[in-house]
Every structure is written in structure tokens, then in C-alpha cells.
Amino acid sequence: MKLPHHATVTAFEQPTLWNWLVVFVCGFLTICIISPVVCFCLWLLGKGAIAIKAPIPPALLEVQLPFAIRVILIVAAIFGALLATLLLVEVLRRKRYELRIPGHHPVIGDFEYSPHFKTWHAHPVLPFGSAVKLNGHGSSPSEAQAALWQQFVARYDALSAAMTAALLTPPHPLQEASAVTLTPNGINLTRDGRLHVGFDFTTAQEAFWNSEVEEPIPVAVFSPTLELEKTEWITPQG
């Protein structure tokens, strides 16, 4: 039985006892509708087997109607209860997965905490005026994370030049382009105190990257003291 659209939406958005009952009734009625059809098909199968004198368990033809109805109701109730419970458990899991708790830090600014991943996410603005997605572990930015971010912002021009020079030193995937512009799009503050920067890139020629392989992702890794440890072009695995 198909759930009504409104009931389906409500059941997935509001995991309440009422919605559990709605899903239970839908599952219950589904079995109640399907079971008589299945029983009728089995009855026809039994009659056909008798007509051609094929072996068939006698108990199949001796099932009484009250017993069959009782079995159907029990199965329908179990199915409805399992369906409703599983759906609401999935709703609660999804809600926790999607839950974001807003917060504010004097250095980082506004951020959101994800209890499911135990990470926080912010969108601070870099010195060149563009926002970047900043991620870190914990329920909120720690003093060490905030200090590292402050140092990164204060030294951004020099650090940016170092990253760009290292990433665009041949050989690299875009060395045939006449000009490449790298723009940070995501920064991760790792558990070990390092800072990982991921970039978007644009080239002077439009649609320069026309390979069947996905576009490479340029990344840079800094030590806890903001020494550039490595840069690389990561090729996404298909």
C-alpha cells in the first residue's frame, strides 16, 4: 500500500507516536491486501495440482479460513510494527546526521557544530576577500586551532605565494595552460595540528581540462608551525 504524500512527509520530518501509528497502519493494510491474493493463488495452485493429479501436501488444502485470517493478521501486525519502527529509527539517525548546532567564536566567527561527525564548520573570510570553508575537530574551535588560524591569516600573503609556487612548479597537470589561478576553497585543521588547504583552479583557456579523467585537486599541507610540508595534485578515483 502506498503511503499518502502528506503522511510520508510528516512521518519523516516529525518522528512522533502518531506518525509511527500512520506507518504501522499502512504496513498492516499492505499485508492485509496482499495476503488474500497470495492465498487465492495458492488455492488455485492446489486445485490445479489436484486436477493433474500432482503430489501436493494435504495440509495446504485443509487450512481453515479462521486460521488463515488469524495468521494474516498476526503477520500484518508484525510487519507494520517492524516497518514503522525501522522508518522512525532511520528518521532519528538522519536527523542526528543532519543536525547542526550554531555557535560563535571571537576569532573564527560564526560556526556550526555537527554532533554526528564531532566537527565544526565555519566560513571565515580570507584577506583577499573571499570566504573559505574551514573545518576542525571538536564541538567548537579550540585555542590552538584559533591561534593557528590567526597566524595563517596574518601570514597569508607569504604562505599563499609559497603554496602557489610549489603547486605550479612543473611538472604538474596544468603546465600546458598559459596561466593558472588557484583559489582556496576548503581548509582543514587536523587533529595533529596541521593545516590542509584545498584549492579550486581556473585557467586562461576556457574548458582547458577536457580529459575524461576528473579534474585534479591541488592541495597543500602545513605543519603546526606553518611550514609548508608538501603540495600535491590529487586525482579523484572514479
Q: What is the pLDDT of residues 49-91, one digit of tens each?
A: 556 666 666 555 566 668 778 888 888 889 888 888 888 888 7
Q: State the pTM of this model.
A: 0.65
Angstrom distance (rounded) from CA 187 to CA 221 = 10
Of the candidates 106, 218, 124, which has an alpha carbon nearest to the alpha carbon of residue 168?
218
Position 210 scores a pLDDT of 56
| C-alpha cell read off for 45 | 495452485
First-last CA distance in the chain? 38
Q: Is 219 helix (H, G, I), strand (E, B) or coil?
A: strand
Interacting residues of 13 by C-beta distance below 8 A, sequence separation 6+: 91
Identify the segments of the chain with pLDDT beneath 50.
1-12, 238
Q: Is 137 helix (H, G, I), strand (E, B) or coil?
A: strand
Which position has the grid cell 512527509?
Answer: 9
Position 212 scores a pLDDT of 54
Alpha helices (runs of H) in the chain, residue ranges in sequence order: 5-13, 17-51, 58-61, 65-98, 143-154, 156-167
Position 161 scores a pLDDT of 95
Angstrom distance (rounded) from CA 231 to CA 180 = 16
Position 146 scores a pLDDT of 96
Position 72 scores a pLDDT of 82
Of the candidates 135, 128, 134, which has an alpha carbon nearest to the alpha carbon of residue 181?
128
